[in-house]
Amino acid sequence: MMYPEYRPRRLRRTESLRALIRETTLSPKYLIYPLFVVHGKGIKQPIEAMPGCYQFSVDAVVKEAKEVFDLGINAVLLFGLPEKKDPRGSHAWIKSGVVQNAVSAIKKSVPDLLVVTDVCLCEYTSHGHCGVLSNGRIDNDATLELLTKVALSHAGAGADIVAPSDMMDGRVGVIREALDEQSFDQVPIMSYAVKYASSFYGPFREAAECVPKSGDRRSYQMDPANAREAMREAMLDLEEGADILMVKPAMPYLDIIHLLRQEFSLPIAAYQVSGEYSMIKAASAKGWLDEAGIVEESLLSIRRAGADVIITYFAKDVAGNL
Ligand code: PBG
């Protein structure tokens, strides 16, 4: 079929026609809003590099969670900034930790809001790495034991989903086994299956105060040059019992989201990370970009690539318009 018999513009003539044949849609139901929790009371501290995002104390995060839920958003993802850091990150799994307290407080006052927890050590270790540091190296197997404690403590506090983001080998399997043993067999694992060593995490490290004191994360997070390796990482996590596979960051890795979508039937999540957020916020603040338009287009691109779930700091901004 060719012009002039076929005229693609016929179906673009009005908004009703365009809506009729729209292939990709957005809804707040599959957005996850990240939240940073700190010790203290009555705290809502702006994060400079992420305008519109804050560090909240537990009482304040409950208020925020209510607001998020009322906007139609289904889920939040919690990160904790502990009172004290040590080499092993022990405050990541203590019963009265910030995340543990936030989970139970949110579940108590907004029970239908899904609470997902980031399972990692970097915010809790004094050296800022995601695992146990020994002789300048990250000890994979020693870290697994600690991650298991973190995941169990989150599940114990009432987390609906745990999300390991450390990129240690074998962590999904040991966490699944530990959860099952402690009768948390109904708690799903959303694994950061394909997490790149990305410069787009810059603003987050300010927000979560987890810049590594020495070196970088390239011995555990993936090389941005690799796509085939992403398939291996995703396959391992699937075999170890992951329920949702995540790709992170999102927009610079749409090809990876698409690859996973074609290869796996598990739900796929994509994390539109802090740097993606801050770029758009900064350019919009300067009047160089139309923020609402860019945000919608960026989320559509992530969905079109194949993501079911999107973790985004824009969730609150867009929920009202969807
Ligand atoms: C913790 C973690 C990071 C992010 C999510 N979980 C930081 C990192 O790996 O350095 C980044 C999120 C973002 O940039 O929005 N390991």
Average pLDDT score over residue span 196-205: 96
- pLDDT tens for each residue of 99-153: 999 999 999 999 999 999 999 999 999 999 999 999 999 999 999 999 999 999 9
Q: How confident is the model at residue 321 (pLDDT cuts 50, 70, 90)?
A: confident
Query: At 30, is the secondary structure helix, strand, or coil?
Result: helix
DSSP 212-261: -SSS-STTTSBPTT-SHHHHHHHHHHHHHT-SEEEEESSGGGHHHHHHHH
Per-residue pLDDT, 239: 98
Average pLDDT score over residue span 296-307: 98
The verdict on residue 16 lying in a domain is no
Pick the catalytic residue from 41, 85, 108, 248.
Answer: 248
Per-residue pLDDT, 206: 87
- pLDDT tens for each residue of 203-221: 998 899 999 999 999 999 9
245 φ, ψ to 5°?
-105, 130
235 Cβ contact list (under 8 Å, min separation 6):
none
Residue 265 has what DSSP assignment? -
Q: Is 167 in the pocket of ligand 1 (CB under 6 A)?
A: no
Instruction: Compute the Cα dihedral for 142, 147, 149, 150 and give only its sign.
Output: positive
Q: Which of 111, 56, 48, 94 is nearest to 78 (CA)?
A: 56
95 is catalytic: no
Q: How much of the chain exceeds pLDDT 70, in percent?
A: 100
Strands 54-57 and 44-46: antiparallel
pLDDT of 84 higher than 90: yes
Per-residue pLDDT, 320: 84
Q: How confident is the model at residue 253 (pLDDT cuts 50, 70, 90)?
A: very high
DSSP 128-189: --SSEEETTEEEHHHHHHHHHHHHHHHHHHT-SEEEE-S--TTHHHHHHHHHHHTT-TT--B
Instruction: List the beta bridge partners of residue 118.
Output: 163
pLDDT, averaged across the chain: 97
The verdict on residue 171 lying in a domain is yes
Q: Cα(113) to centroid of ligand 1, in Å?
A: 22
Q: Cα(278) to centroid of ligand 1, in Å?
A: 14
The verdict on residue 152 lying in a domain is yes
Cα–Cα distance measured from residue 65 to residue 305, given in angstroms and rounded to the nearest whole number: 29
Residues across the chain: 322
The verdict on residue 280 lying in a domain is yes
Burial class (CB in 10 A: 0-12, 13-18, 19+), 65: buried
Say how many Å lie between the first and final Cα of the chain, rounded. 35
Q: Cα(181) to centroid of ligand 1, in Å?
A: 29
| Residue 254 belongs to domain spanning | 26-321
| Cβ count near 142 (within 10 Å) | 14
- pLDDT tens for each residue of 143-187: 999 999 999 999 999 999 999 999 999 999 999 999 999 999 999
DSSP 49-115: TSTT-EEEEHHHHHHHHHHHHHTT--EEEEEEE-S--BTT-GGGT-TT-HHHHHHHHHHHH-TTSEE
The verdict on residue 20 lying in a domain is no
Say which CATH number the domain at 265 has. 3.20.20.70
Per-residue pLDDT, 2: 95
pLDDT of 1 higher than 90: no
The verdict on residue 11 lying in a domain is no
**Ligand 1 site-directed mutation target among 204, 218, 314, most atoms within 8 Å of CB:** 204
Q: How many domains does the chain have?
A: 1
The verdict on residue 19 lying in a domain is no
96 Cβ contact list (under 8 Å, min separation 6):
none
Per-residue pLDDT, 215: 93
The verdict on residue 172 lying in a domain is yes
**Ligand 1 site-directed mutation target among 36, 81, 122, most atoms within 8 Å of CB:** 122
Q: Is 251 in the pocket of ligand 1 (CB under 6 A)?
A: no
